[in-house]
Amino acid sequence: MNFPLPSLIAVSAANPWTYVLFAAIGFAFGYTLEMSGFGDSRKLAAQFYFTELTVLKVMFTAITVAMVLLFGAVGLGLLDFSQVWVNPTYLASGIVGGLIMGVGFIVGGFCPTTSLASASTGKIDGMLFMLGGFVGAFLFGETEKYFDGWYTNAGYFGRVTLDQVFGIPVGAVVVIVILMALFMFWGGEQLERIFGKKDLSKEPKIRVAGAVALFAAAVTVLALGSPSLEEKYNKVKFTRTETIEQLNADPIVNTLTYTADDMLANRLVFITPAEAFKAKYNQSMNPVYLDVRSEADYNLYHIEDAVNVPLERLAEVIPVLLSEPPANTVFMLMSNDETAAVQAWKILVGSSVQNVYILEGGVNNWIAFFGAEDKSLQPKPNAGDDQLGYLFPAALGSRYESCSPSPIEYEALEFEAKIILQLKRDKSGGGCG
Amino acid sequence: MTTQTRKSFFKRPEKNYVHPYFGGVVLGIVLFLAFFLTGNGLGSSGATSRLDAALVDAISPSHVDNTPYLLKMAGGDKNPLDDWIVPVFFGALLGGFSSGFFNGRLKIMTTKGPNISDRTRWLMAFLGGVIFLYGARLARGCTSGQALSGGATLSAGSWVVMFAIFGGAYGVAYFVRKFWN
């Protein structure tokens, strides 16, 4: 069994238990915050005058415990990290929003969830913070249009985690974060002793054992490592249905499960130029043409709207492919023939990018299909595998006629549809968003 | 007998808060289970704007159509409340209440520094709420959705947001010290 469970990723009326589950998670969340003392604004504000560092202790203990368990489960292959919501990185609005939140924190004495714990236990200031929150969120909705471009674009990096930023294994980041947290706990206790006049000898000794256990767990996560691209690729499963028509009876519908290699071998992910072209005019999908050839080939000839991402740079764009696209995005990979596109397909599928297909026969096949009548494009004899099979009078990019076939001229095209949208998860929601 | 029960309902013996590290471990396990089972972390500020959107949608649907931010949540036949964050929000309210109940901390009162009046504290709490949620929507998540959840998944942006929150609060703390000390 692979977690998270697909049926629990979002609430749905079809599965009312999802509401109960999320409410139970919220219940545990609220209960824990209240029992830790976060219903009292004084305990929260004390953090910023160094008299009591409960906020730091609770928060970083929670982050480190959750982090160790999470990456431990990923390392053991129980949890598919690509299905875990990772807040996309928006540096500019994140920094400005964070600073504003900090001001609200010290002025109001709460953060949004702690104000719930406070209000629900009868604290009037907690209720007023909550009320103010509704006003603040409303004001944001009303003013967002004045800086929409900055809000959606400034410092946007997609789904990026710290291990990718620093180029080190995720287990190493886990160890570093835990060492940092333990250092902060030690420093925090010293501050409490100095500013809060707290007697540290009364603190439970077991916390030292806890620190050692946490560190040992982090080292275990590092030792486990995370599954390689190849291991993840081998675990990917696809389902397709097959309908068998019967005489005098209802057709039989079989659900078949394929591995990624089966999908390639049965050519279930190869789409004809006709289907790739028609996808543009299909309201139900949002096609993205990814041209994985070299920049030189791309400049000679490419399909209109195709984005050039040479194969060796594909890894750089995966964070963006994973985080932002609406659920109905279909990625269509193309090289000159198929070799590079198949490699790109394996990388993207192994990275859990959804709805990835390959243009059958690549750009050469596209030209053979849509550009057969273009006299300026001459077939090039003895072109090697995955090389351009045509000679071009000039590097016109997408300005050859066949780069953007006329939708009227090619209104009626026959093809066997291979694209089957997998709407596994709507990436637009998630998190606190 | 009835008065006895009623009395104990509201005046249960007040218990101490749990040790911060223990609270943190429990919270960490809750956060992990949320990720493990559903792929989502914890949060609440998203529900605030969804409840806002539902209210605006009920009063003036045409206003929703003219406000891009609301349109994303409540445009067309979308129900802004149909999101996992909404049951989490109400669950958290109930959870806070239950902990307050079992630990004898249900009490109408105002938590504030020793040197300010209740009224000033109320005004500051309200203002703080306005400021905080404005920032939380701008940063696409609050201390729960960004710092806690994003921190645990090692999201680069969330760590930046987390340090910005602490930076903002420490930067201003000196100027509002009268309210707390």
Closest by CA to B72, choosing from B56, B53, B44, B47, is B53
CB–CB contact B155 A58 (8 Å): no
Backbone φ, ψ for residue B15 (5° rounding): -100, 165
Residues of B in contact with A123 (CB under 8 A): 107-111
pLDDT value, residue A302? 92
B54 in Cβ contact with B81 (< 8 Å): yes
Closest chain B residue to A70 measured between Cα atoms?
B32
**CA atoms in the 13 A half-sphere facing the CB of A270:** 18
Listed in order, strand segments (DSSP E) in A24-169 are 89-90, 156-158
Q: pLDDT value at position B4?
A: 42
Residue A255's alpha-carbon distances to A243, A268, A326, A349, A419, in angstroms, are 9, 14, 26, 21, 16
d(CA A70, CA A84): 10
Question: Quick one: A285 and A330 in the same domain?
Answer: yes
Whole-number pLDDT of residue A418: 81
Same domain assignment for residues A116 and A180:
yes
3-class DSSP state of A148: helix
Spans in chain A with pLDDT lower than 70: 1, 323-326, 422-433
- Asked if the C-beta of B174 comes within 8 angstroms of chain A's C-beta atoms, the answer is no
Give bridge partners of residue A254 from the DSSP assignment: A242
Q: How many CB atoms are located within 10 Å of the residue A153 CB?
A: 11
For residue A423, being part of any structural domain is answered with: no
Does residue A171 sit in the same domain as residue A274? Answer: no
DSSP string for residues in A230-275: HHHHHH-EEEEEEEEEETTEEEEEEEEEEEHHHHHHTTTTEE-HHH
* In-domain check, residue A16: yes
Q: Is residue A160 part of a domain?
A: yes
Chain B environment of A66 (Cβ under 8 Å): 28-29, 31-32, 35, 148, 152
H or E element: which one contains A329? Answer: strand A329-334
For chains A and B, count residue pairs whose Cβ atoms are closer than 8 Å. 579
DSSP B7-66: HHHH-PPPPPPPPHHHHHHHHHHHHHHHHHHHS----SHHHHHHHHHHHHHHH-HHHHHH
Contacts of A176 (CB under 8 A, 6+ apart): none
CA dihedral B125, B127, B132, B134 (to 10 degrees): 150
Residues A249 and A144 in one domain: no
Asked if the bond preceding A4 is cis, omega within 30° of 0, the reply is yes
pLDDT at A415: 81
Q: Is the CB of A94 less than 8 angstroms away from the CB of B92?
A: no
Secondary structure percentages of chain A, helix, strand, coil, to 5: 55, 15, 35
> Residues B51, B55, B61, B63: is their CA dihedral positive or negative?
negative
Instruction: Tell me the pairing of strands A156-158 and A390-391.
Output: unpaired
CA closest to A145 among chain B residues: B68
Q: Nearest residue of B to residue A55 by CA position? A: B20
CA atoms within 13 A on the CB side of B40: 33
Question: Is A409 inside any structural domain?
Answer: no
Question: Is A384 found in the same domain as A248?
Answer: yes
Q: Identify the pLDDT of residue A423.
A: 59
- Name the percent of chain B in helix, strand, coil, to the closest 5: 70, 0, 25
Q: Do A30 and B91 touch (CB under 8 A)?
A: yes
A274 and A390 in a single domain? The answer is yes
Give CA–CA dist A59/B151, Å, rounded: 10
Q: Are residues A169 and A240 in the same domain?
A: no
pLDDT at A424: 54
Please answer yes or no on whether A86 and B153 come within 8 Å at the CB atom: yes
B140 CB near a chain A CB, below 8 Å? yes
Contacts of A162 in chain B (CB under 8 A): 154-156, 159
Domain edge (last residue) among A191, A207, A228:
A228
How far apart, in whole angstroms, are the C-alpha atoms of residue A30 and residue A35? 9
Under DSSP, the state recorded for B143 is I
Q: What is the DSSP string of A154-165?
A: TTEEES-BHHHH
Output the pTM of the full model: 0.81
Q: What are the tokens at A210?
A: 């806890």
- Per-residue confidence (pLDDT) for residue A148, from 0 to 100: 87
Q: What CA dihedral angle connects A237, A238, A239 and A243, to 10 degrees?
A: -130
**Tally of domains in chain A:** 2
- Beta-carbon contacts of A412 under 8 Å, excluding residues fewer than 6 positions away, are none
Q: What is the dihedral of CA A36, A38, A41, A47, to 10 degrees?
A: 70
Cα angle value A107/B53/B79 (rounded, 5°): 140
Residues 6+ apart with CB under 8 A from A415: A271, A272, A274, A275, A278
Collect the ranges in chain B with pLDDT lower than 70: 1-11
Distance CA A292, CA A313 (A): 9
Phi-psi category of residue B97: left, alpha or beta, with phi > 0 → left and psi -120 to 50 → alpha: alpha
Q: Between vectors from CA A310 to CA A375 and to CA A165, what angle results, nearest 5°? A: 160
The closest CB to that of B130, out of A59, A84, A135, belongs to A135
Q: Domain range spanning residue A158?
A: 6-228
**Strand-pair category, A156-158 with A89-90:** antiparallel
Could you tell me if residue A408 is inside a domain?
A: no
Same domain assignment for residues A254 and A380: yes
The domain boundary residue, chosen from A228, A259, A287: A228
Instruction: Give the per-residue pLDDT at A299.
Output: 92
Shared-domain flag, residues A224 and A147: yes
pLDDT reported for residue A7? 79
Q: Of A182, A197, A228, which marks where a domain is finished?
A: A228
CB contact under 8 A, B126 and A67: no
Residues B21, A4 contacting (CB under 8 angstroms)? no
